[in-house]
Amino acid sequence: MAISSTQKQDRSTELPPSTHPLDPLNADEIRTTVALLQDAGIAHDKTRFITVTLEEPMKDVLLEWIPDDVLERQAFAVLLDNTDGNTIEALASLTQQKILKHEHIPDVQPAIVLDEFFECEEALKQDKDFQEALRNRGITHFELLMIDPWSVGDYGDEPEQGRRLACALAWTCKEAGENGYAHPVLGLMAWIDLNTMKVIRVEDSGVVPIPGQSGNYAARYFEGKFREAPKPLEIVQPEGPSFSVDGNSVEWLGWSFRIGFNAREGLVLHQIGYSDPAQNSRLRSIIHRVSVSEMVVPYGDPDNNYARRNAFDVGEYGIGLFANSLELGCDCLGLIRYFDAHMATGRGEVMEIRNAVCMHEEDYGILWKHSDWRTGDVEVRRSRRLVVSFIATVGVYEYGFFWYFYLDGTIQLEIKLTGIVSTGALAPGETRKYGTEIAPRLYAPIHQHVFNVRMDMAIDGPNNSVYEVNTRSEPMGPNNPLGNACYAEETLLKNEQDAARNMSLESARHWKIVNPNVTNSLGQPVGYKLVPEVNAFPFSDPQSSVRRRAGFMNHHFWATAYNSRERYAAGDYPNQSDPCVDHGLPDYIKQNRSLENTSLTVWHSLNSHHVVRPEDWPVMPVATIGFHLKPVGFFDRNPAINLPPTSSKGSKNSNDSNCH
């Protein structure tokens, strides 16, 4: 975890001991957990370790914890027994060096791990029926195949119900290392039992000629053909960064939080708070824990080649496992602090992802400005934001998750989508209304990326309430003779079912989380508001399998009473989950618990609607979706009003003046 600019980092091979209850498991702790499970006979040579992660202490325990206290360090593991297909949950005490409990979880399939992808691909390449179907398409170089195993969902028509399945699709390369997604092998799907790694059936719906145009994008294919490059842009911080880091704890210009990471959610932020250092104010809590709890990608073409393409990238695969090792000057720019991640592989070995999380500062233009035309006085302050990010490559797509902290107390999540779109082939002369031809006979179906972000709120304390805010127009009449009047109407969302809500452009709807027990100097309850950005509604039918299994996409906003076990918007085990049973949020809110002046969790669903363009091929430019959390009465005034003027000293085009 070293600071870098252009210099190479020096790293120690020794892992520091965990010093905080929320620190992710280090490599030694993962090895210890695996050994405890093996010694207890719970894990054996046919066991897959789906996840081994920190068992986080309860919220109320952490609120009372002080650094001198010793909390038992625990690890939570999900295991898959390939001999009988059973899923096992286990809890281990690292403090006591023993297994505390373990249990079989019936009728579920845990996430697919990376090891299974590789084994599945190799098994399919060796299958005689699959090879014969490939030869019928003129494909004989099986080593040039690209096999993508997809989760199968549950449509009620699988003859292999109860088995752990993947449905594999194929693409082929003309030469090693090229972009095979330009050459889809359409009409061919194979079903694999992941416990036995046996191909159980091959579906061949007919040969479609393979598109032949290259889709290569690597730099080596453009030698001598590059466009003019931009002039160099350097980020210089001669006095170093404004943040400080102690282990996983970060402080930056009033902000304070902890960085966590796990295989399923990837980056997790804990104990986000703010204090005004100039006022010597106490650290005020805002969010106890926040993460991306789930995402699903439903495709909109009803043809059997595409209709089953939907992936729960968090719950069915784990975006943390697919995190990139970030590179200076490419993924991150400036003076960087990196955080490594340690996770368990499917075989219980330690996997280290170096530079999994990147943290740096960015200039963000003008923060505030006013020119007094009477006196000629001008005051301006520049904005800066702290960026904490990671990027995961899940299948063809890259997802970048960027958390921004601003000097005015705002928190923002921006999700950046890039990578390669999922492709298929068109027969000569064929057109399809469910997608776009992006190259000659190369087809990309319409689809959506629906994310859900889970936020355990703690606005100035543990007990909060949530309001919906709609702007209303006053009818014209004696009280509004010119027809200009409008006002913001706040409605308390008293229980969980009342709080399942959607966006409304007509009323400029947003949601406000307040602490009714703490007021500002104006007597208003302190709060933050969730401000949605670009979003969409789902287009899959409400009774479709994917819509039932991903019920969280039915609403943009949800709120539930805090429960540390209700962590995932589509439930604990979305892989092959039953569409006839409510999972995750639709199930949680059946309890209809009170949301008034209590510990609560806010969930926000973000729907990136993608009608594919030719410009999205061969690698799509970044598309973004996100939201802001903005203070509303949390401060008595603009918290950045006391920011000192920015000096332009050091800029090559400056006269060493102050910006005021």
Q: Which residue has the tokens 């990608």?
A: 297
Is residue 408 domain-shared with residue 513, that is, in the same domain? yes
The C-alpha atoms of residue 465 and residue 597 are separated, in whole angstroms, by 5
- For 428-564, strand residue ranges (E) read 435-439, 442-445, 447-457, 465-473, 486-492, 510-519, 525-532, 557-561
CATH of the domain at 378: 2.70.98.20
Give yes or no for a contact between 512 and 527, defined as CB atoms under 8 angstroms apart. Answer: yes
Kindly list the distances between the CA atom of residue 36 and the CA atoms of 42, 49, 74, 609, in Å, as whole numbers in the listed order: 9, 13, 12, 45
Give yes or no for a contact between 601 and 325, defined as CB atoms under 8 angstroms apart. Answer: no
Is residue 316 domain-shared with residue 422, that is, in the same domain? yes
628 Cα distance to chain centroid: 16
Name the strands in the sheet holding 442-445, side by side, starting at the edge strand that comes first in the sequence.
424-425, 442-445, 435-439
Q: Residue 547 falls within a domain, yes or no?
A: yes
Bridge partner residues of 156 (DSSP): none
The C-alpha atoms of residue 128 and residue 133 are separated, in whole angstroms, by 9
In this predicted structure, what is the pLDDT of residue 11? Answer: 30
CATH of the domain at 75: 3.10.450.40
CA atoms within 13 A on the CB side of 299: 24
Is residue 250 domain-shared with residue 333, that is, in the same domain? yes
Q: Which alpha helices (DSSP H) does 279-348 contain, by range?
A: 304-307
Give yes or no for a contact between 425 and 409, defined as CB atoms under 8 angstroms apart. Answer: no
Q: How many C-beta neighbours within 10 Å does residue 260 have?
A: 25
In this predicted structure, what is the pLDDT of residue 546? Answer: 96
Is residue 167 domain-shared with residue 310, that is, in the same domain? no
In this predicted structure, what is the pLDDT of residue 16? Answer: 46
Is residue 191 domain-shared with residue 327, that is, in the same domain? no
In this predicted structure, what is the pLDDT of residue 1? Answer: 38
- For 7-86, strand residue ranges (E) read 47-54, 74-81
Q: Residue 525 falls within a domain, yes or no?
A: yes
**What digits encode the pLDDT tens for the residues 231-253?**
998 889 999 999 999 999 999 99
Is residue 203 domain-shared with residue 300, that is, in the same domain? no
Is residue 101 domain-shared with residue 125, that is, in the same domain? no
Q: Which amino acids are annotated catalytic?
A: 313, 397
Is residue 368 domain-shared with residue 412, that is, in the same domain? yes
The C-alpha atoms of residue 480 and residue 478 are separated, in whole angstroms, by 6
Q: Which residue has the tokens 């090792």?
A: 325
Is residue 446 domain-shared with residue 538, that is, in the same domain? yes
Domain termination site, one of 62, 78, 105: 105
- List the chain residues with pLDDT less than 50: 1-16, 650-657
In this predicted structure, what is the pLDDT of residue 333? Answer: 87
In this predicted structure, what is the pLDDT of residue 227? Answer: 92
Q: Are strands 310-312 and 411-419 parallel, antiparallel or unpaired?
A: unpaired
**What digits encode the pLDDT tens for the residues 72-105?**
999 999 999 999 999 999 999 999 999 999 999 9
- For 5-45, strand residue ranges (E) read none
Q: Residue 233 falls within a domain, yes or no?
A: no
Domain count, the chain: 3
Q: Residue 434 falls within a domain, yes or no?
A: yes
Q: Residue 228 falls within a domain, yes or no?
A: no
Domain termination site, one of 54, 86, 105: 105
Q: Which residue has the tokens 């923060």?
A: 367
Is residue 627 domain-shared with residue 581, that is, in the same domain? yes
Residue 480 DSSP code: B
Q: Residue 556 falls within a domain, yes or no?
A: yes
Reduce the DSSP state of residue 307 to 3 states and report it.
Answer: helix
Give yes or no for a contact between 569 and 603, defined as CB atoms under 8 angstroms apart. Answer: yes
**What digits encode the pLDDT tens for the residues 158-176?**
666 789 999 999 999 999 9
Q: Which residues contact 329 (CB under 8 A, 6 or more apart)?
A: 6
In this predicted structure, what is the pLDDT of residue 156? Answer: 81
In this predicted structure, what is the pLDDT of residue 14? Answer: 37
Is residue 260 domain-shared with residue 406, that is, in the same domain? yes
Domain termination site, one of 46, 72, 105: 105
Of 489, 504, 495, nearest to 466 by C-alpha is 495
**Between the CA atoms of 517, 519, 524 and 526, what dihedral angle is there, to the nearest 10 degrees?**
-80
Q: Which residues contact 432 (CB under 8 A, 6 or more apart)?
A: 301, 303, 426, 443, 445
Q: Residue 1 falls within a domain, yes or no?
A: no
Taking every pair of Cα atoms in the chain, the longest distance, rounded to a whole number of angstroms, is: 85
Name the strands in the sheet holding 486-492, side by side, starting at the edge strand that comes first in the sequence.
3-4, 336-344, 350-371, 378-394, 397-406, 411-419, 620-632, 525-532, 510-519, 465-473, 486-492
Containing domain of residue 134, as a range?
114-222
Give yes or no for a contact between 385 and 621, defined as CB atoms under 8 angstroms apart. Answer: no
Is residue 49 domain-shared with residue 184, that is, in the same domain? no
Q: Residue 398 falls within a domain, yes or no?
A: yes
Q: How many C-beta neighbours within 10 Å does residue 236 have?
A: 10
